[in-house]
């Protein structure tokens, strides 16, 4: 699929990598990525997002996060992914009784900005839903009213010769998207948008 020419470069270049370099990311780069996330819009400006990260060189912390992953994600993450990050949502805003029904939506917006910023910097990323959320609550000592949303692999793009061939094929797989006419309607559901 041809990359769209008229959209932001970070959006065009963003993809879910499975080949990472062992080179780590500095704390400063990680803070910059979170700074991009911090400026995301949120319902009533509640900013329900939080992030926990671990770098591979901080072995125990990284292993705690790695152990939360389901086997399908462990298979490729074990090959050099230098940084794991967990996104979290504050389900009930501080000082309120009612849940924030937009919390996961807003964490998604913030995460998307983080991913686009990373792509614009030439970094490799991969968001993951395949991890044990209940175990994460305990292992990561996550307090109420926060909930784990997703995990992210972060780093620099790696070399195909450093990973098994199956991962090379997966990494090179073409990005595909459903056509706009399957998701955009004009006026009401199922109507064509026109030109």
Q: pLDDT at position 172, please? A: 81
Q: pLDDT at position 4, please? A: 66
Query: Among 85-99, 134-148, 178-192, which is the least confidently predicted range?
Result: 178-192
Percent of the chain exceeding pLDDT 90 equals 67
Helix then strand then coil, % of the chain, to nearest 5:
40, 20, 45
The 10s digit of each residue's pLDDT in 5-20 is 788 888 888 888 889 9
Transcribe 86-127 into DSSP letters: EEEEESS-TT-SS--TTHHHHHHHHHHHHHHHHHHTT-EEEE
The 10s digit of each residue's pLDDT in 141-171 is 999 999 999 999 999 999 888 888 887 788 8
Q: Any idea where the domains of the chain sit in the sequence?
A: 9-182
Average pLDDT over residues 77-100: 94
CATH superfamily membership of 9-182: NADH Oxidase (3.40.109.10)
């Amino acid at each position: 699929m041809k990359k769209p020419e008229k959209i932001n470069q970070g959006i065009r270049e963003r993809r879910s990598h499975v080949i990472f370099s062992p080179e780590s990311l500095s704390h400063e780069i990680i803070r910059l990525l979170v700074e991009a996330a911090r400026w995301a819009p949120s319902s009533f400006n509640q900013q329900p997002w939080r992030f926990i990260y671990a770098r591979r060189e901080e072995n125990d912390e990284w292993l705690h996060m790695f152990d939360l992953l389901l086997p399908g994600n462990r298979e490729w993450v074990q090959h050099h992914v230098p940084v794991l990050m967990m996104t979290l949502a504050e389900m009930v805003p501080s000082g309120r009784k009612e849940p924030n029904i937009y919390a996961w939506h807003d964490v998604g917006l913030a995460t998307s900005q983080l991913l686009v910023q990373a792509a614009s910097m030439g970094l490799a990323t991969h968001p993951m839903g395949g991890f044990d959320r209940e175990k994460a609550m305990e292992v990561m000592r996550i307090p109420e009213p926060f909930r784990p949303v997703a995990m992210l692999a972060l780093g620099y793009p790696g070399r195909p010769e450093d990973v098994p061939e199956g991962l090379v094929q997966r990494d090179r797989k073409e990005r595909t998207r459903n056509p706009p006419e399957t998701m955009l309607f004009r006026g009401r559901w199922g109507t064509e948008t026109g030109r």
